[in-house]
Amino acid sequence: MRRTAVIVACVLSGAVLLGGAADAHANYVRSNPASDARLVKAPTEVRIEFSEPPDPKGSDIEVLDTAGKRHDKGDVRPSGDPNGLRVSLEPIADGGYTVAWTTTSAVDGHTTKGSFAFVVGNGPLPPPPPVPEVAPPPSALEIAGRALSYAGIALGLGTAFFVLFVAPTLTDPRRDSSLLGLAGALIVVGSVALMVDQGAKLPPRLGVMLGVRAFAGLVLATVAITPRLALMRPVGALAGGGVMTLGPLATFRPRRMIALAASIAAAMTATLVSHATALGSLKSMALDFVHVLSVSVWTGGVVALLWCVLVTRRDATAEDARALGQTVWRFSVTAMIATALLITAGVLQAFDRLVLIDDLYETPYGIALAVKIILVLVALAIGAFNLLRWGPRLRAGIRARMALVRDTVAETAIFIVIIVAASFLTAFAPPAQPSAAAYDQTQHVSGLRLEMLVASAGAGRNTYVLRVHQGLAPVGDAEKVAFRFTMVEHDMGEQELVATERASGEYVADGSPTGMYGTWHIQAIVRLTGREDVTTVFTLPVGAPTGGSTTSQVVTIGPYTAIVFTDPATPQSGAPITMFAVLIGKDGNPVTGKKLSATFSGPNGQPAIDAIEDAATLGPGRYKFPIAALDAGKWNIAITVGNEGSGPYSLDVSR
Amino acid sequence: MTRVLTAVATLAIVASSFGLTSNVALGHERRAVGPYTFVVGWLNEPAYVNLLNSLDLTVTETSGGKAVEGLEKTLKADLTFGGSTTPQPLTLAARFGLPGKYSGYVMPTKTGDYTFHITGTVGTMNVDEKFESGPGRFGSIESTDPLQYPAKVVSSSDLAARLDQLQTLVIAGIVLGGLALLASAAGLVVRRR
């Protein structure tokens, strides 16, 4: 009974260490209409792009007017954009609308929620919706399912690895069979629990992955209870890469090879439903897989050492003690390599998931991670103590088996405590969240997390957003939030924009303070009642758009050259677009006083527009074409200068 | 002709000297308050931390520009730093020989934005106006660090921050030392067994 308890504890500890692997959340990245957009033309659909693939079946997009009446048709389906969904709208009148979205990650079935607003016409934006619970914590069933299946993976992989490569001759095959059988059962039960938790909204891809995992668990359970048949040798050889075992090991080695292959397959499914896979990063996937494998070899190996060796072998004689010491030493070396890989992969993953080192004590995810790290270090310290204290004694022929068992049990107890930390780790989204902003930097100042997001890295009109959090709790009702802009390369004076609170803890300002290419300092000032101003400086490089598309084109118009571009640089359908033309003469000087007009041909009709010349505001030779809205598609625009000539300009408007 | 040119040049120099010595036009906020115009800023600008400075308040009648005197008896002024809820009252005093101009001395000890809050009455009109430093208004309190030469003097706020960091390190050191002691004790116990 006691031994069984030890095994269960060790298994659970494996679950803990694997628990942080999967944290997929499909978060809002961008939309059309954009958040806070002011449209002159009512949209016919709403399209939202998420950070991870959403499952349309478990997702919903509601478009509500200020009275709460729904105006979407409920036909949520893939938009054709990467990770995008769309919903059709009924004809809507001028006014403010709130888009409330709920989506389920196709990778691991996690649900996320959010909302944003837009306005058609000149009315005000709807009041900021209450900040929703972006990522509800997973249910108890989900946590249990994850824990059980991860425990099974760790136990199966660790045991198979141990009996194949660490102690192939010392162990009784019946004992590792019991561990492999338990591992298979845990994987099957855990996978079924996760499927039940998802219920009808189980994304197909996740269903396939859980099915593969459950099948791997069945294979593990089967090899554990199947008699040692020589018939299994070819299958085992196949799983082991073609190595056909001969001699005394031939009876049980094939089964162990199959068990190892099945465990690796199950471990692979853990990575394939993880945040790393959802982000589509091969590096993150590789790190995640290494993390899972190394944790399994270590924790499962501890269980196998305890159950298959320590509780069965005796060290009554010096000979026995030395043999036991050799086995312990081989496992120690294996465990050291595994923990080195585990720590390396974990640290590299943490760099991707944490924004600041302060996240480790300020955010729920970070706190859970920190607790996990500390406990793992304590477990490692005990392991090191075993290695340095009891290992040499055994190898010297001195009895130390019981002390080793006692310390291994202590190590196991620490693993159990880690379960709590891992449960929290899976419950919270990591602090590093994707955004569509061209500039996204976070600083920790006076106990506050200040995240500055700038919509575009180009010169001209821009949107500046400051998210203010204490830990992960938004700091709302600031007395004042202001941005002060100074240019580094030139003395352009200091300009200030005062932000308004769009949602709790999210402060937004629009303007054109960064109108010149170069390096700009943005001093963010947050004034909270009763305390000193919190202020910090962000450095924003402003330049020509790189990497993405640009609308800037050089157009020859009769004797003139025009540089034509739009604001925004990536125009969206239905939203206002301003097209600028800088007219330059043959002498290289700006040309003023001309009559410019633009004629459109594209997806549908669009009346010609005459340019506005406003040298006082725009500068000499600069002409502005205010376009109310264009439909999505490719537009060919002929720009004419009086009777002197015409030149072609093309513009892609996204949906 | 030479005398005329000399006189014009002299007048120009005198006029420009007024411009240089008067801080009113440099970094002050001008605001119409009823029939009066309030001009508010720091007396010494740029305004630096840990240096004596003062509210520089000028009140004139908007129509005609006549200075309004005697307001040190009817107006009150206080100064607030950032979002602080404990403002510093200023002793408003008429500036000698400068009708319509008032001062209230203070030594700002932190860099950043300050708000002058002026309340009371001007004639029969109630006044309750806040003037906050910032771009387009009047200057914020700046650090003297870039100006210090040859040796940099550590400010009291920096010193306090460094002491805080030191305290954290000391606590961490004590905790680590305690853990090391515990580990040593545990090692000794094990060894004796």
The interface predicted TM-score of the complex, written ipTM, equals 0.70
Residues of A in contact with B135 (CB under 8 A): 484, 493-496
Which stretch, A103-107, A148-152, A233-237, A522-526, has highest mean pLDDT?
A: A522-526
Q: Say how many CA atoms lie within 13 Å of A236 toward its Cβ.
A: 23
Q: Report how far residue A464's alpha carbon sits from residue A501's, in angstroms, rounded to the nearest whole number.
A: 12
Stretch A6-25: mean pLDDT, rounded?
43
Return the pLDDT at A119.
83
User: What confidence tier does A245 reach under pLDDT thresholds 50, 70, 90?
Assistant: low
Q: How far apart, in Å, are the Cα atoms of A109 and each of A199, A200, A640?
A: 10, 11, 54
Q: Please determine, for residue A423, whether its predicted confidence score (pLDDT) is greater than 60.
A: no
Q: Please determine, for residue B122, whether its predicted confidence score (pLDDT) is greater than 90.
A: yes
Return the pLDDT at A41.
79
Task: Judge contact between A310 and A319, C-beta under 8 A.
Answer: no
Q: Please determine, for residue A78, whether its predicted confidence score (pLDDT) is greater than 70.
A: yes
Return the pLDDT at A367.
82
Q: Please determine, for residue B17, whether its predicted confidence score (pLDDT) is greater than 60.
A: no
Q: Please determine, for residue B23, whether its predicted confidence score (pLDDT) is greater than 50.
A: no
Task: Judge contact between A597 and A609, C-beta under 8 A.
Answer: yes
Q: Report how far residue A166's alpha carbon sits from residue A162's, in angstroms, rounded to the nearest whole number.
A: 5
Q: How far apart, in Å, are the Cα atoms of A561 and each of A475, A608, A649, B177?
A: 50, 21, 12, 74
Cross-strand partners of B126: B121
Return the pLDDT at A588.
77
Q: Which structure tokens are listed for A50?
A: 């998420």
Beta-carbon contacts of residue A307 (< 8 Å; ≥ 6 apart): A3, A6, A7, A175, A178, A179
Stretch A8-37: mean pLDDT, rounded?
57
Return the pLDDT at A388.
83
Interchain CB contact of B113 with A (< 8 Å): yes
Residues of A in contact with B85 (CB under 8 A): 529-530
Q: Which structure tokens are listed for B142?
A: 């700046």
Give helix then strand counts, H and E, for chain B: 2, 9
Least confident of A311-325, A464-478, B109-123: A311-325
Q: Please determine, for residue B18, whether its predicted confidence score (pLDDT) is greater than 50.
A: no
Task: Judge contact between B19 and B108, C-beta under 8 A.
Answer: no
Mutation target for A interface from B84, B171, B188: give the one with most A CBs within 10 A. Answer: B84
Q: Taking chain A, what is the end-to-end CA distance rounded to the nearest angstrom?
A: 64
Cβ distance of B83 and A528 shorter than 8 Å: yes
Q: Report how far residue A188's alpha carbon sits from residue A197's, in angstroms, rounded to the nearest whole number.
A: 14
Residues of A in contact with B136 (CB under 8 A): 496
Q: Please determine, for residue B73, whether its predicted confidence score (pLDDT) is greater than 90.
A: yes
Cβ distance of A531 and B136 shorter than 8 Å: no
Residues of B in contact with A530 (CB under 8 A): 83-85
Least confident of A92-106, A131-145, A605-619: A131-145
Cis peptide before A568 (omega within 30 of 0): yes
Q: Please determine, for residue A301, whether its predicted confidence score (pLDDT) is greater than 50.
A: yes
Q: Report how far residue B174's alpha carbon sits from residue B187's, in angstroms, rounded to the nearest whole number.
A: 20
What one-character-per-residue DSSP string does A634-651 give? EEEEEEEETTTEEEEEEE
User: What confidence tier does A9 reach under pLDDT thresholds 50, 70, 90?
Assistant: very low
Q: Report how far residue A408's alpha carbon sits from residue A383's, in angstroms, rounded to the nearest whole number.
A: 8
Q: How far apart, in Å, are the Cα atoms of B78 and each of B81, B119, B135?
A: 10, 9, 21
Return the pLDDT at A81.
76
Q: Please determine, for residue B19, whether its predicted confidence score (pLDDT) is greater than 50.
A: no
Return the pLDDT at A653.
85
User: What confidence tier does A11 reach under pLDDT thresholds 50, 70, 90?
Assistant: very low
Q: Which residue did the predictor score with more confidence, A380 or B2?
A: A380
Return the pLDDT at A7.
42
Pairing of strands A518-527, A534-542: antiparallel
Mean per-residue pLDDT over chain A, rounded: 80
The 10s digit of each residue's pLDDT in A587-625 is 877 888 889 999 998 888 888 889 888 776 666 788 888
Q: Report how far residue A78's alpha carbon sits from residue A89's, in angstroms, rounded to the nearest whole number.
A: 15
Q: Which residue did the predictor score with more confidence, B155 or A629?
A: A629
Cβ distance of B113 and A525 shorter than 8 Å: yes
Return the pLDDT at A1.
38
User: What confidence tier does A352 reach under pLDDT thresholds 50, 70, 90?
Assistant: confident
Cβ distance of B135 and A529 shorter than 8 Å: no
Least confident of A64-68, A99-103, A432-436, A611-615: A432-436
Return the pLDDT at B42.
96
Residue found by looking up tokens 């449209």 in the block: A39
Stretch B47-64: mean pLDDT, rounded?
94
Cβ distance of A532 and B83 shorter than 8 Å: yes
Helix axis angle for A282-304 and A253-272, nearest 10°, is: 140
Q: Report how far residue A94's alpha carbon sits from residue A284's, in angstroms, rounded to the nearest whole number.
A: 45
Q: Report how far residue A483's alpha carbon sits from residue A525's, in angstroms, rounded to the nearest whole number.
A: 6
Q: How far apart, in Å, are the Cα atoms of A294 and each of A161, A261, A287?
A: 11, 15, 10
Cβ distance of A529 and B83 shorter than 8 Å: yes
Stretch A111-115: mean pLDDT, rounded?
77
Q: Taking chain B, what is the end-to-end CA distance rounded to the nearest angstrom?
A: 114
Cross-strand partners of A442: A451
Dihedral sign for Cα B11, B17, B20, B26, please. negative
Q: How far apart, in Å, are the Cα atoms of A390 and each of A162, A166, A245, A387, A403?
A: 20, 18, 34, 6, 7
Q: Please determine, for residue A547, whether its predicted confidence score (pLDDT) is greater than 50.
A: no
The 10s digit of each residue's pLDDT in A179-212 is 889 999 999 999 999 889 888 778 888 889 999 9
Q: Please determine, for residue A85, whether its predicted confidence score (pLDDT) is greater than 50.
A: yes
Residues 508 through 537 of chain A touching chain B, CB cutoff 8 Å = 525, 527-533, 535
Q: Please determine, for residue A12, whether its predicted confidence score (pLDDT) is greater than 50.
A: no
Interchain CB contact of A477 with B (< 8 Å): no
Q: Report how far residue A74's alpha carbon sits from residue B155's, in angstroms, rounded to the nearest whole number.
A: 62
**Facing residue for B112 by CB, picked from A479, A480, A533:** A533
Interchain CB contact of B135 with A (< 8 Å): yes
User: What confidence tier does A481 reach under pLDDT thresholds 50, 70, 90?
Assistant: very high
Stretch B29-43: mean pLDDT, rounded?
94
Q: Which structure tokens are listed for A13?
A: 């500890």
Return the pLDDT at A391.
81
Q: Please determine, for residue A527, whether its predicted confidence score (pLDDT) is greater than 90.
A: yes
Q: How far apart, in Å, are the Cα atoms of A332 and each of A297, A422, A652, B191?
A: 11, 25, 62, 21
